[in-house]
Amino acid sequence: MIRRVHYAWVILAVCFFGILAAQGTRLSFGAFVTPWQREFHLDRSTVSLISLVSFVVYGLTQPLVGRLVDRLGVRLVMAVSVLIVGLSLIGAAFVHSPLGLTLMYGGLASLGFGGASGVAASVAVTQWFREKRGLAFGIIEAGFGAGQFVLVPASLFLIDAHGWRVTLAALGAFAAVVAFPVLLVFLRNRPDDVLLRPYGEDRAGAGATAAGTGEQAVSPPEASGQPDVTEQPADRINLWTSRAFWSLILPFFICGVSTTGMIDTHLVPFAHDHGYSTAVTGAAVSLLAAFNVFGTLASGPLADRFDNRKILGTLYALRAVTLVVLVFAPHGSVWLVVFGVAFGLVDFAVLAPTQVLASRLFEGHSVGLVFGLLSLSHQLGSALGAYLPGLLYDATGSYNVAFLGAAGGLVLGSMLSFSVPHRPPLRKLALT
């Protein structure tokens, strides 16, 4: 007998593709740093300022995106956002000043990046999946790594061959002409839009979902180290005083500093400064992205089975080690490639455990809002991580201070992750 594929997997594939198109472009920013320095005669901190503006705009949109997805649905928000990304990048290809780049890329395109983000896709996962939610989150976040794997090396080689303007226009055309129609045609907001139940709801049974975990009930929460969602206090607690919320959001801020902010913006300029060829740099970035995908996909099933607090704490600690090695290891092609592999394994892998923890701790609330606030913290951290290393580079002629500072922050993030409370802190979500 032929078993029909549940449409939830189509939704997952389409969200994956949308994130690849939009976020892969955003993660290509580092490829444009040196060309923009030469074109507009800028120092590195000024170019980094464009990235800071981009991350701030992206971050500030995230709570709003969560609310919009709750009200308008994933389909409209993601499709229109990808179209905005495409048109903005095409417009940015024709600007002739740093201000124009800041407005088109840092401003308008970043509004699109914010909408075609993990927030919208994560809401889709919570609506379409009752079983295998950790795996689904992992696949969604692998879209970031897949976009990085495909579009960053492609951008490096296109810039070398045709210049940064043609490259931006090509990235924009891919988003507007290819990705936008796919999202518009195939995305659906909720299972009942196509007369279906969420994936796994009929098999999980009422008992498995009544507790509100959204996961298959394979063991008691205490046995797996996951939060127990069956016993929640009835009083209304301010989100800003919730220890669980801060134990998630502060490490995620540090995560943003050290990954999309610092490494994804400055690894390519770092490689250029040390004389690595485009081929070696592209190989290192490609391996980083490929192992990002591998680490993210592996972390999803692990997040379904094991204590996500311990997973996060370990990943942040290992990421700190990779940055220390990058600073003190001898500079050579082999070490850059080794760093790409090691950092990739522990980079996006933190996303699925963070999202599963958040979905379990705050189940029954505005999930889009919670994911939006987490993403806001990550993007504000990314803004700091994009700008401050450029400033320190101009002051010291090196990235060492920035990389070691980020490593110290990751150690703090590791300790906070281990301290996430075992039980959910509240029943009704309050912001004030």
Task: Give pLDDT, residue 283.
Answer: 86
The topology (CATH level 3) of 7-194+232-430 is Growth Hormone; Chain: A; (1.20.1250)
In this predicted structure, what is the pLDDT of residue 208? 40
What pLDDT, on a 0 to 100 scale, did the predictor assign at position 165? 96
Q: What is the pTM of this model?
A: 0.72
What does pLDDT average to in each consecutive run of 10 residues of the chain (432 residues)? Answer: 75 93 89 90 87 86 81 91 95 93 92 87 85 80 84 90 94 95 92 83 50 37 44 49 83 91 88 83 86 82 84 94 88 83 89 82 66 82 89 90 94 92 56 46
Euclidean distance between CA atoms 273 and 23, whole angstroms: 26
> In the prediction, which pLDDT does 232 show?
42
Whole-number pLDDT of residue 364: 58
What pLDDT, on a 0 to 100 scale, did the predictor assign at position 324? 93
